[in-house]
Structure 1
Amino acid sequence: MYGTAKGGYSLYGVPLGVLMLEAKFPRIEGDMGNATTWPFPVQLCIVDGVTPEHIVMGNPLDYLDQFIREGQRLIRLGVSAITTNCGFLALLQPQLAAALKVPVLASSLVQIPLVQTTLPPGKRVGIVTVCASSLTAAHLSAVGAPVDTPIAGTENGEEFFRILIRAESDSMDVDKAEQDVVNAALQLVKDNPDVGAIVLECTNMPPYAAAVAQATGLPVYDIYTAVSWFMSGLRPRRFLAQHG
């Protein structure tokens, strides 16, 4: 017997809503915006007219109302938690969590304080980002990360930055993009020998996390690890048989 089923939403069985930037670059498997990346259902929602360039090279606070409005729409549809597909939206973490009234994970950067606790004395977390010059102390402070966290970016690479941020093409050489991310990670650890773990800011970087780990020999965390942790609390695994 199933008892009485309660309605009230348009969607069921989709616990996570993803606030997406408007972009046309390819989203390969592992990219946050590719639904096959996730082992659970996700509801993707485009925030119309807000591009990666707007958020990374501009001020995310200028678009706060749009993100709140679309997050509220996702909640009305039936999702029970919200994330976003740009690490620079870390800047909106406090405001989104306050306005949306459901668990919110705005950026992979929220992992930095947790990852730091796992490291031995004298080691710290480093960040690989799509654009180091745009990732500020304000972004880090919004998620409780140290403002002196070392950062390296892909803006001087051949492919990743120009396709994702400058939108110079809707095609991408995946091998070159991977090399850009790996090169940034190698530069990060070269410049900062005390880095003991890496957090990838960009939600398009998970496809390259394994290559970064292999190249640096360090643990690598990204939006995939963050959302996997996030969802494990929202949908805990059941170990004991349910008793009637």
Structure 2
Amino acid sequence: MIVRGGRAIYGESVGILVLDTKFPRIPGDIGNATTFDFPVRYQVVPGATPEQIVAAPDRARALLPSFIEAATGLERDGVRAITTTCGFLTVVQDEIAEAVSVPVITSSLFLVPLLRRMLGPKRTIGVVTADAHSLSDAHLRAAGIEPGWRLLVRGMQSSPSFGTILGTDNDTDHALDVDQARRDVVAACQAMQADAPDLGAVLFECTNLQPYATAVQAATGLPVFGIYHVVNLLHSAVVSPGFTHGYL
């Protein structure tokens, strides 16, 4: 067997564009490498803070050159697919995808059309987002979500436990109360279920919510989707499993 080189590092299947943050990335968070069973490669985009990206769709577009530079750098480093740590980046999906030759999925929101097919058009999909006031029609349309779909959106913007993630607090230690955050996320999802008895699934737009999926599922009994599934989808597509351990 002959293999060819040309790079300094190898073995990282998915590249992840990371917002410029300082809050803790606990296991389950896309920004914690132990979340995944395979190596991933991170690239921080300088200046792309949550306050910038979540504020309005045009903020992400203003930083598009930085995102493209980071994405092309990841491709040069050998990743086979790319995603991001912020679901609000749907608005620059096409531009980033066109700038590289590997598959790109910028947000878990792109799963919503699939979930709608899975559940049928008459069931509600619950979307939990970092800030419901900032998740605009432009973000949803960019993900292929059409007006009139049964979508219920809840935001974590009023939760004090998420202040460090959203950049709305002044804690220089960037402390995160994990237990309180878990309770707040569960409460948000239970409230959605109470408001929509036909709720068929929960989708985490915010990539920082995945650590609480187990608690949400236990409390609601619903399927919970998020960026974790996107990353695993990308990895399994670009590094096909060999099935060498199977048997008949």
Measured in 1, the distance between the counterparts of 2:68 and 2:107 equals 15
- Residue equivalent to 1:66: 66
Aligned partner letter, 1:154:
M
Runs of 4+ in structure 1 over 6 Å off:
none
Q: CA deviation at 1:202?
A: 0.7
Counterpart secondary structure, 2:216? helix
Measured in 2, the distance between the counterparts of 1:195 and 1:60 equals 31
* Residue number among 202, 206, 223 corresponding to 1:202 in the alignment: 206
- 8 Å Cα contact 1:10-1:78 kept in structure 2: no
- Residue equivalent to 2:156: 154
- Residue equivalent to 1:180: 184
Query: RMSD in angstroms over aligned alpha carbons?
Result: 1.6
After TM superposition, list the pairs within 5 Å mapping 1:87-106 onto structure 2.
87-106=87-106
Counterpart secondary structure, 2:68? helix
Aligned partner letter, 2:4:
K
Counterpart secondary structure, 2:113? helix
Residue 233, structure 1, aligned to residue 231, structure 2:
no
Counterpart secondary structure, 1:118? helix
Aligned partner letter, 2:176:
M
- Residue equivalent to 1:42: 40
Q: CA deviation at 1:74?
A: 1.0
- 8 Å Cα contact 2:207-2:226 kept in structure 1: yes
* Residue number among 209, 218, 238 corresponding to 2:222 in the alignment: 218
- 8 Å Cα contact 2:124-2:196 kept in structure 1: no
Q: CA deviation at 1:187?
A: 2.2
Aligned partner letter, 1:7:
G
Measured in 1, the distance between the counterparts of 2:34 and 2:111 equals 23
Measured in 2, the distance between the counterparts of 1:198 and 1:95 equals 28
- 8 Å Cα contact 1:91-1:138 kept in structure 2: yes
Number of aligned residues: 238
Measured in 2, the distance between the counterparts of 1:60 and 1:97 equals 15
Q: CA deviation at 1:122?
A: 2.1
- 8 Å Cα contact 2:109-2:205 kept in structure 1: yes
- 8 Å Cα contact 1:163-1:172 kept in structure 2: yes
- 8 Å Cα contact 1:130-1:153 kept in structure 2: yes
Q: CA deviation at 1:131?
A: 0.6
Q: CA deviation at 1:120?
A: 4.2
Aligned partner letter, 1:49:
G
- 8 Å Cα contact 2:14-2:231 kept in structure 1: no
Task: State TM-score, norm by structure 2.
Answer: 0.90
Sequence identity percentage = 43
Q: CA deviation at 1:195?
A: 2.1
- Residue equivalent to 2:124: 124
Measured in 2, the distance between the counterparts of 1:85 and 1:212 equals 21
Counterpart secondary structure, 2:229? helix
83-92 vs 177-186, which moves further: 177-186
Q: Deviations over 1:23-63 (max 9, x none)?
A: 11111111111111111111111111211111112321111
- 8 Å Cα contact 2:81-2:234 kept in structure 1: no
184-193 vs 211-220, which moves further: 184-193
Q: Which blocks of at least 5 consecutive residues in structure 1 are unaligned?
A: none
Q: CA deviation at 1:180?
A: 1.8
